[in-house]
Amino acid sequence: MCNERQEQDPGKFRDQIRQGKWQKSTSGACPGYVQANLVILPREFALDFTIFCLRNPQPCPIIEILDPGNPIVQEAAPDADIRTDIPKYCIFKDSKLVEERTEITNLWRDDLVTYLIGCSYTFEEALVRGGVPVKNYLQQKDPGVYISSVMCRSAGVFWGPMVVTMRPIPGHLVARTVQITSRFPKAHGAPVHIGNGEPIGITHLEKVDFGEPPVIDRGDVPVFWGCGVTPQLAAMKSKVPFMITHKPCHMFITDIKIEEMAIS
């Protein structure tokens, strides 16, 4: 969360992270800048994983893929080092979380391919600026996250359900919410479902799979978006022998301004 001592420039903020001075959530950090989910996989799995993401662009919008073996970001944050510039990493072996770390320098290999995948922090900020009160954002909480019954389109070994986030939106602002988030396809874009969650297998909104249970006020409509946990879950189900991700909420902060990412 934002605090007084926090750097608001992405480069300086990443310096803090690299020096081990910031190991917390990046929610609310560097307002106005795009944050990204991280997935790192061996090259052997990269083509199939890329096709999986392209077939499921709402949960898995690719911001950037780094060249195989290269840990230095090219476009989203030139010269950022993906091995050190994220507050916390999760290390998976044979689909099991085996370790959390604050840097992965000595785990790096020449066959690793890095994916930066869009994150809903970006559109939450755009919604609030656009007059839509996103309760979890304003209360500095995570949204409710649910494993839906909608299956992703598979690709090679990668398959799994679409994971979604839900935010309760007042009925008169649902159209505005669609308009604003449609401008950001690289941050999950437009909602995947609006209204009662039953058709997508979500019957009890208070029972979240991840994140925090939502506060639903009278007149709120549930609005669901694809979630960046989807590709991680697919990689775990696929039994990839080795994967590194960010720890949830501990994102990579890019140099891309949110408005630079809007498509219109």
Residues of this chain that interact with its own copies (CB under 8 A) are: 43, 46-47, 50-51, 54-55, 62, 64-65, 67-68, 74-75, 113, 153, 155-156, 179, 182-183, 185, 189, 263-264
Question: Cβ 183 to its own copies, closest distance in Å?
Answer: 8
Structure token digits, residue 189: 């874009």
User: What distance in Å separates the CA atoms of residue 93 and residue 91, rounded to the nearest whole number?
Assistant: 7
Question: Cβ 157 to its own copies, closest distance in Å?
Answer: 11
Nearest to 244 by CA among 64, 99, 105, 40: 40
Question: Cβ 28 to its own copies, closest distance in Å?
Answer: 28
- Kindly provide the residue ranges of all beta strands, DSSP E only, lying in 33-143, ordered along the sequence: 33-42, 62-65, 89-93, 96-101, 112-118
- Which is closer to its own copies, CB of 66 or CB of 90? 66
User: What distance in Å separates the CA atoms of residue 113 and residue 71, rounded to the nearest whole number?
Assistant: 8
User: What distance in Å separates the CA atoms of residue 25 and residue 6, rounded to the nearest whole number?
Assistant: 12
Q: Radius of gyration (Cα) for the chain, nearest Å?
A: 17
Question: Cβ 126 to its own copies, closest distance in Å?
Answer: 15
Whether the Cβ atoms of residue 216 and residue 204 lie closer than 8 Å to each other: no
CA dihedral 203, 205, 211, 216 (to 10 degrees): 160
8-state DSSP, 73: -
Question: Cβ 60 to its own copies, closest distance in Å?
Answer: 12
- Which is closer to its own copies, CB of 75 or CB of 100? 75
- Which is closer to its own copies, CB of 30 or CB of 192? 192
Question: Cβ 185 to its own copies, closest distance in Å?
Answer: 6
- Which is closer to its own copies, CB of 101 or CB of 176? 176
Q: How many residues are given for the chain? A: 264
Question: Cβ 152 to its own copies, closest distance in Å?
Answer: 12
Whether the Cβ atoms of residue 33 and residue 107 lie closer than 8 Å to each other: no
Whether the Cβ atoms of residue 168 and residue 107 lie closer than 8 Å to each other: no
- Which is closer to its own copies, CB of 3 or CB of 264? 264
- Which is closer to its own copies, CB of 157 or CB of 236? 157
- Which is closer to its own copies, CB of 119 or CB of 190? 190
Burial of 18 (0-12, 13-18, 19+ CB in 10 A): middle
